[in-house]
Amino acid sequence: MKKEHEITRRTFLKGSAAAGLLAGIGGATLSDFSKATARAEGETQEFFNACPRNCYDTCSIITTVQDGVIKHVRGNPNSTYTNGRLCVKGYNYPRRVYSPDRIKYPMRQSAKGSGQWEQITWDEAFTIIAEKILEIKNKYGNTLPICLNKYSGNFNVLTYGIEGMMSSIGHTTRCQGTPCWPAGIDSQNFDMGAILNADPESMLKSKMIIVWGANPAWCSVHSMHIIQKAKENGAKVVFIDPIMTASASKADQFIEIKSSTDGALALGMCRYILDHKLQDDAWMEENSIGHEEFVDYVKKNITVEWASEKTGVPVQVIENLAYEYATMEPASIWIGYGMQRHTNGGANVRCIDALAALCGNVGKMGAGANYAQLDSWLFNYAAMTGNGANTDNVEADRNININNFGADLLSLTDPPVEMLWVACRNPMGQDPETGVVRKAYESCDLVVTVDQFFNESCNMSDIVLPCCTIFETWGLHASYWHYWYHGNQPAIAQMYESKTDVEIAMGLSEKLNSLQAGSCTYPTDRTMEEWCAMEMTDGAKELFGFKDWKEIFEKGTAKVTGYEAAWSDGQFRTPSGKYEFYSEQAAAMGNHLLPVYREADETKTDEYNVRLITPHWKYGLHSQFQNLDWMQDIHNEPFVEIHPQMAKDRGIEDGDAVRVENEIGYLVVKAKLTQNVPRDEAVIYEAWYKDNPFNVNYVVKAIPADMGVFATGQPGVSFHDSFVSIKKA
Amino acid sequence: MGHTSLILGTVFSQLAIGTFITGYVIDQWLKKANEKNAFITTCVSFVAGCIGLAAIITHLGVPMHAFNAFLNIGSSWLSRETLFSAIFMLLLFVYLLIQKGIIAKESKSALKGLGCVTAICGLCLAFVTAMIYMIPGVPAWNTAATPVSFMLSAFLTGIPLGVYLSGYDEAKMPALLTGLIALCALFVALIHVTSLQAGASAQAASGYLMSSNSMFAFRMVLLALAAACGLYFGIRGTKQNSEGTETKTQGGTIFLLLFLVLIVAEFLGRYLFFGTIVRL
Amino acid sequence: MKKGFVSNMERCIGCNACVIACKQYHGLEPEMKRRKVREMDENIVGQPVRAYLSASCQHCDEPACMKACPTGAYSKREDGVVLHNAEVCIGCRMCQWACPYEAPTFNPVTKKMDKCDFCRERIDAGEQPFCVAGCPMEALEMVDMDEINESDYVSEVKGFVDPSITGANLRVKLPAAVRQVRR
């Protein structure tokens, strides 16, 4: 009898990622119901929904529905973080739900990539899939040839039903790890024992805010608002970034740093602070181990001049910054995920953590080295229930690196992967080295993708299954940044033939068992409401003062309190219980014991010598939203941002077609000349444009980051360490 | 944005005005047209006007509600254009009927007076049409060149067609007039473009868009050709016998050719007008 | 009482949330926009930054649309709000041409024009226009032009239409300069 899968924060992180969504709608255009606008009579209702995207802000939404049709959405004012306002992506939801491009029913493609699709019934789909699963089981004696690639396209807790579905069949191959943030997670685990940021609303109390390698204007607009407010109240706001982003444009001070050298800046600041005795010895004595070794390291190896040379930041600026950081209390640092997407990303985060700890800025209100948190994820993960049929001849799931998915999958031979299930993810669109991922897809007999729009991954699938939007089902949601916990209720009926991921799991289970009794243990008889009811932990109910989980729908949201100043209790979750400058766990994973400067690996070549940074795009969340026609109306073509100097050197003018190339592929995109990017680096924002084959990943390599294995099972991706050549096309 | 309908509409409208006035003057003042030709000239003018009107109505989002366009004559030039269009076409139609003797047979003498009113109405129409485009939002339009070139357009296309259709056989004056007007139009276009290029960014952008378009050069060539031709025949006359005395003109063909060259030039000009919009 | 907008470029991040918030609230067709966000010259405050200006209809003192419309479809309320009456509109687009900001937008389904109406039903009920209420940076405000302190704002913005042409009721706060350390 297998042990019930134990959920800890670590296993959660090691497990695959969030769910996707799918649904299909017919030709309902806005004009069909535009007559029923605010002026019309008719029953108007309001519902609470939550944006289930992988986003810091995870908004609570109030949806206005009239005659069963969504009229508009707005932010829920009951959450002081959402503050009654959404972002440009969120306001697109009514169009997303009713988009004419939504997948409406199960589809089968005659051959991957052929574009020859036919509609099939759910029964036919389940039959094809179930038969394949059973065929695999019979041939191999286990279901390891079935691979799940799932991440965070949908973070509704119920999407963990996808993992549950897989576990209910038997042992499978899982894409382990996370592309986003693992290097930094490891760092913070080594230093503090867990990722735990202070409530971002506490930034209002900060006297100084350093945003280090993050672009909240585009990725966390509600925090941008908080920062702006703090600034207007007198806080000094500093942005450190290679790019003069829309966020940095609002700073008091913008410091352009050479990509991947952030650790050097932090250490240089530490040196200055030590030289001027601005460190907090008392705090370190009481709350940390290894501070003496760290101080010794800095004094022997680091100078401000060295830091200046490494980072390109003038000595005077480093000194001023260090002085202000150490003396303006409280001072908060926001460590961005973009910053750690380098081969030395994890090491850099350790250095910044150390800077904060050196000044005793961990645990104080309005301070902190803030990165992320998962403490507010108070869920039972009931949907993830999986107690696989006991007919396996293996002991455990097989893990491959989600960040090297294509190559890893192709390398498996014992047994090889024959079936791929993709949900809450678009690997063909989002994974680096698109060519390799494509080969991986082609090597699988059956690729099933659950999604909402016909993106690149769907195009390479055999079967596509439509899933619902968040407005059509139940859910509970938490953020990895703020501390609000949201409830999500169905605002409208499920559209077309769409199903939720859990409904798909139940349907597949039923089909499997009808073909071979006992071949799947996933429950088949619960409603989504019943599933959702099982998710709120008793701890959460107690914290919120609820007797019934449904009370969350009184306000749509509830706050997880107690985190205004993270680590204020000094109870670090490290082996020593203290902040660990000196971390044996770090060393055990092959890193230095101390937060030392680690040079980024040299990935530049003579021919491909321009660093390509590929940040998140403002009009989309990876391959979601930019493809909607409303969004395309605002902006509809990809471009590369290059400095006028770089352009001049290459005879490129604004608007010219530019060829961006390296060993693994090339792109041709329009050039946009701007002084807001470094002179020696190019920037292309990653996004999926409607009817456009553009994909920046043709030139992005799957270079592993230095950390990530400890907490998430796999190293991260150094997205921003790819180098290219830039030429006029 | 449906510029084609406006190009067609305005050029044909101005053609109608110019042709009518020319035909009217030749018939009622110079008494040099026979009944049949005079009528044909008015007919063609009327048909041109109808085409112009139809083209403009198709540009509307809701053509069936076109009558609403009369409602803001107090401030809207477009409203005034609608009014003058209607009145001009109505007067033209009545003139046509009287000319043919279908109505008011006894009042044929009234044609002179009616024609005068119609002519004035037509001139007002051309002017008012131009005023529609005098909007600050489009600097390239917001100059004197707009009303001047719209008015010139009426005569540039109308005089040669009117002369040709009327069968007017004393070519020198109208040829000279046409040549001078073509020369004027040429200068207006060149001055307009150069002054635009010297202006602020939106103006300059329009100016360069215009001058870099090969159609602009082509139009200048056509206008120059027409100017040269018109002036040549205007000074020399169209035919001389071996004794060097003036004989009956064979201006018909020349005016037809002039018309064809100039209608193309005007279509090009209007195409450039709408095609090089650069907003503030 | 004269209604106008304040567009605070110091807070505005050019995200277009206002544009889409309005679009979804009013059920506009995909090609229609009552509000536009313009990317401004990056040197607008000296050193380069990313700067944006959000503007819809300026509810001008001398609305060019009202003057140019042949059907008299435009009217100006006592509180300054300029309204478009779709009933008489013939979709000639004259207003869109005449407006220096091209604020009126063509509805391809009704074939008539459409324009920001200051969310008149909302403001008449004491609420904020949806763009103002929806902006995540709180960068837009509805103000009474007679009550604001003009010295807090500018009306002219480099690269934007001269407001004196139509007496635009938009006031702008320019972005703040950023102390920059560039490599």
Distances (CA, A) of A79 to A141, A373, A484, A539, C97: 51, 18, 7, 20, 43
Distance CA C86, CA B25 (A): 45
Q: Tell me, what amino acid is at A553?
A: F
The answer on pLDDT for A660 being more than 80 is yes
Minimum-distance CB partner of C183 among A72, A674, A678 = A678
Asked whether the predicted pLDDT for residue A25 surpasses 80, the reply is no
pLDDT band at A391 (very low <50, low <70, confident <90, very high): low
Q: Residue B14: name the closest of B262, B280, B278, B224 by CA.
A: B262
Q: DSSP class of residue A589?
A: T
List CB contacts of A51: < 8 A, sequence separation 6 or more.
A57, A58, A59, A61, A86, A90, A93, A470, A477
Tell me the helices (H) and strands (E) count for chain C, helix number first: 5, 10
pLDDT at B30 (0 to 100): 86
Distance from CA of B227 to the nearest CA of C (A): 34
∠ CA A525-A530-A534, nearest 5°, is 115
- CA B258/CA B222 separation, integer angstroms: 10
**Which residue carries 């051309």 as its tokens?**
B126
pLDDT higher than threshold 80 for residue A52: yes
Is C106 within 8 Å of B61 when comparing Cβ atoms?
yes
Query: Which of chain B's residues have a Cβ under 8 Å away from the Cβ of C93?
Result: 1, 61
Closest by CA to A380, choosing from A160, A114, A98, is: A160
Q: Can you tell me which residue has the tokens 């859910």?
A: A475
DSSP state of A694: -
Interchain contact, A92 vs C133, CB within 8 Å: no
CB contact under 8 A, C178 and A248: yes
Residue C142 has pLDDT above 90, yes or no: yes
Domains and CATH numbers, chain A: 9-22+102-179+377-559 (3.40.50.740), 198-371 (3.40.228.10), 610-728 (2.40.40.20)
Ordered by start, the domain boundaries in chain C are 3-173
Confidence of residue A14 (pLDDT cuts 50, 70, 90): very low
Choose the mutation target among B64, B65, B73, B85 for the interface with C, i.e. most C CBs under 10 Å: B65
- CA–CA min distance C126, chain B (Å): 33
Chain C CB within 8 Å of residue B146 CB: no
What distance in Å separates residue C174's CA from the closest CA in chain A?
Answer: 12
Structure tokens at A695: 């994909």
The confidence score (pLDDT) of residue B200 equals 85
Q: At what angle do helices B251-275 and B214-236 cross, to 10 degrees?
A: 150
Distance from CA of C161 to the nearest CA of B (A): 6
pLDDT at A3 > cutoff 70: no
Report how many Cβ contacts below 8 Å link chain B to chain C.
Answer: 92
Nearest residue on chain C to B66, alpha-carbon basis = C90
Average pLDDT, chain A: 93
pTM for the whole thing?
A: 0.91
Give residue A699's identity as a one-letter amino acid code: V
Q: How far is C57 from chain B (nearest CA, A)?
A: 14
- Residue A598's pLDDT is what? 96
Measure the CA–CA gap between C55 and C171, rounded to whole angstroms: 10
Is pLDDT above 50 for A23?
A: no
pLDDT at C51: 97
Q: What's the gap between Cα B101 and its chain centre?
A: 27
Q: What is the 3-state secondary structure (H, E, C) of A50-90?
A: ECCCCCCCCCEEEEEEECCEEEEEEECCCCCCCCCCCCCCH
ipTM score over 0.95, yes or no: yes
pLDDT grade for A167, boundaries at 50, 70 and 90: very high
Burial A320-348, CB ≥16 within 10 A → b, else e: ebbebbbeeebbbbbbbbbbbbbbbbbbb
* Interval A74-96 mean pLDDT: 98
pLDDT value of position A35:
32
Q: Please, which contacts does B55-60 make with residues 24 or more away whose CB atoms are closer than 8 Å?
A: B55/B5, B55/B6, B55/B8, B55/B9, B55/B12, B56/B5, B56/B6, B56/B9, B56/B10, B56/B13, B56/B85, B58/B2, B58/B5, B59/B2, B59/B5, B59/B6, B59/B9, B59/C92, B60/C90, B60/C91, B60/C92
Q: Tell me which fold the domain C3-173 belongs to.
A: Alpha-Beta Plaits (3.30.70)
Looking at residue A386, its pLDDT comes to: 73
Q: Taking CB atoms and an 8 Å limit, are B66 and C106 in contact across chains?
A: no
Phi, psi of C43, deg, nearest 5: -95, 20
pLDDT for residue A108 is more than 80: yes
B279: contact with C, CB 8 A cutoff: yes
Contact B79 C70 (CB under 8 A): yes
Look at B65 and C90 and tell me if their CB atoms are within 8 Å.
yes
Q: What is the pLDDT of residues A668-678, one digit of tens each?
A: 999 999 999 99
Whether the pLDDT of residue B3 is over 50: the answer is yes
